[in-house]
């Protein structure tokens, strides 16, 4: 059995469980068939036939390349403890991703085949892909299975570089504690953000989406993941090179267009943290049916130097040129329409403005 020393937090932090996290039901298994098949999983892409005779079927989607390969090592150490904790009550299905977007495909098929829960093992990037796998052509995948008598839940074992989403819930970055949550099997409903651009597929996010400087920094940071959380510092420095604030217009909840001059960054939060622990949208609550929008305007490089601590502890809303508002939807365009304003969500580069962001209230059950 794995000793607790094998589960040393990768990025330790502690917090009390937030009040919005209401665990109101246990995960139960009520599958109509005795067996189902998951194709395209780990083990070189071989199919996995899974028995589902009265046990909870838990699909663990593992990104072995996460955190510069550290995820695979930590997962191997965790697996004996996980099997000993869950093996009597659950079918533990381990599926390794083979490349970008593979977790999306694995998740969709697992949900269609009646999995009780799909657990993302890795960082915010793996979680992001798994969340997107809960949807297909603008609809929840679970709704496509007419025989399903329960909803597949989302789970998380944070073993990646950032693991920012877990911070909002007050979860220690300890995989053993995550296994304990999964064993208890309590669920909460959480909102999901959706990003729309005309002519493009819908894209979903569960943590934070952002525009301009922060999104550009995230794009560059993704190239330096081998340096751990230092990648965010490197990405920010590179993004500042040649950066210019831009005039933008926004429309909130389908209302009138508003002009926002000299925007440095615009962040849309379903949860509170991004960039390796920066509390950028401190009023966001991933279960209240709203998104928090924080806009930084006319920031210079030295503003970040002197105010960085406020961005990390969430007190920056009192700073001049920082505004915050709660929305159900927001459309963002650049006035000059240069086509060069970066957009990302949950640390994943999505392209460039314009975009529309909106909330899907209570879209997913999460193991909490």
**What tens digit of pLDDT does each residue of 210-242 get?**
999 999 998 888 787 777 777 877 888 888 888
- Per the prediction, the chain carries an average pLDDT of 84
So what's the pLDDT on residue 50?
Answer: 45
Q: Which residue has the higher pLDDT, 39 or 172?
A: 172
Lowest mean pLDDT among 21-25, 266-270, 326-330: 21-25
Tell whether the model's pLDDT for residue 300 goes beyond 80: yes
Q: Which residue has the higher pLDDT, 46 or 15?
A: 15
Task: From 112, 100, 180, 164, select the one nearest 140 (Cα to Cα).
Answer: 112
Tell whether the model's pLDDT for residue 143 goes beyond 90: no
**Distinct helix (H) and strand (E) counts, the chain:** 9, 20
Task: Tell me if residue 124 is catalytic.
Answer: yes
Tell whether the model's pLDDT for residue 17 goes beyond 70: no
So what's the pLDDT on residue 149?
Answer: 55
Cα separation, 323 vs 321, whole angstroms: 7
With pLDDT > 70 as the criterion, what percentage of the chain qualifies?
A: 83
Q: Which residue has the higher pLDDT, 246 or 5?
A: 246
From the candidates 113, 116, 124, 210, give the one annotated as an active-site residue: 124
Cβ pair 279, 324 in contact under 8 A: no
Tell whether the model's pLDDT for residue 124 goes beyond 50: yes
Main-chain dihedrals φ then ψ at residue 291, nearest 5 degrees: -115, 145
pTM score, two decimals?
0.84
So what's the pLDDT on residue 25?
Answer: 39
Per DSSP bridges, beta strands 117-122 and 153-158 are parallel
Tell whether the model's pLDDT for residue 189 goes beyond 80: yes
So what's the pLDDT on residue 222?
Answer: 79
Structure confidence by residue, pLDDT tens digits, 53-88: 578 899 999 999 887 888 999 999 999 999 999 988
Burial grade of 337 (CB within 10 A; 0-12, 13-18, 19 or more): exposed
């Amino acid at each position: 059995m794995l000793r607790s020393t094998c589960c040393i937090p990768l990025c330790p932090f502690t917090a009390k469980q937030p009040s919005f996290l209401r665990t109101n039901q246990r995960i139960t298994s009520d599958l109509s068939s005795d067996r189902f098949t998951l194709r395209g999983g780990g083990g070189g892409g071989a199919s996995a036939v899974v028995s589902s005779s009265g046990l909870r079927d838990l699909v663990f989607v593992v990104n072995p390349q996460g955190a510069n390969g550290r995820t695979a090592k930590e997962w191997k150490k965790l697996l004996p403890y996980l099997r000993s904790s869950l093996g009597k009550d659950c079918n533990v299905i381990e599926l390794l991703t083979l490349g970008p977007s593979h977790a999306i495909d694995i998740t969709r098929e697992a949900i269609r085949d009646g999995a009780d829960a799909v657990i993302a093992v890795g960082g915010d990037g793996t979680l992001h892909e798994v969340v997107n796998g809960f949807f297909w052509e603008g609809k929840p995948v679970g709704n496509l299975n007419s025989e399903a008598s329960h909803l597949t839940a989302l789970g998380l074992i944070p073993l990646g570089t950032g693991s920012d989403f877990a911070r909002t819930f007050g979860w220690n970055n300890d995989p053993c504690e995550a296994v304990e949550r999964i064993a208890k099997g309590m669920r909460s409903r959480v909102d999901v953000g959706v990003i729309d651009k005309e002519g493009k597929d819908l894209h979903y996010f569960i943590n934070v989406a952002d525009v301009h400087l922060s999104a550009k920094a995230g794009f560059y940071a993704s190239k330096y993941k081998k340096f751990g959380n230092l990648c965010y510092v490197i990405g920010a420095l590179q993004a500042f090179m040649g950066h210019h604030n831009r005039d933008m217009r926004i429309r909130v909840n389908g209302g009138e267009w508003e002009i926002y001059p000299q925007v440095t960054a615009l962040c849309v939060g379903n949860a509170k943290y991004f960039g390796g622990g920066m509390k950028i949208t401190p009023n966001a609550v991933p279960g209240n049916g709203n998104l928090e929008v924080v806009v930084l305007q006319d920031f210079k490089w030295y503003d970040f130097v002197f105010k960085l601590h406020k961005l990390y502890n969430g007190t920056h809303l009192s700073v001049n040129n920082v505004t915050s508002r709660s929305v159900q939807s927001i459309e963002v365009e650049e006035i000059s329409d240069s086509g060069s304003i970066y957009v990302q969500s949950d640390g994943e580069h999505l392209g460039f403005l314009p975009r529309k962001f909106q909330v899907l209230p209570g879209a997913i059950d999460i193991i909490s």
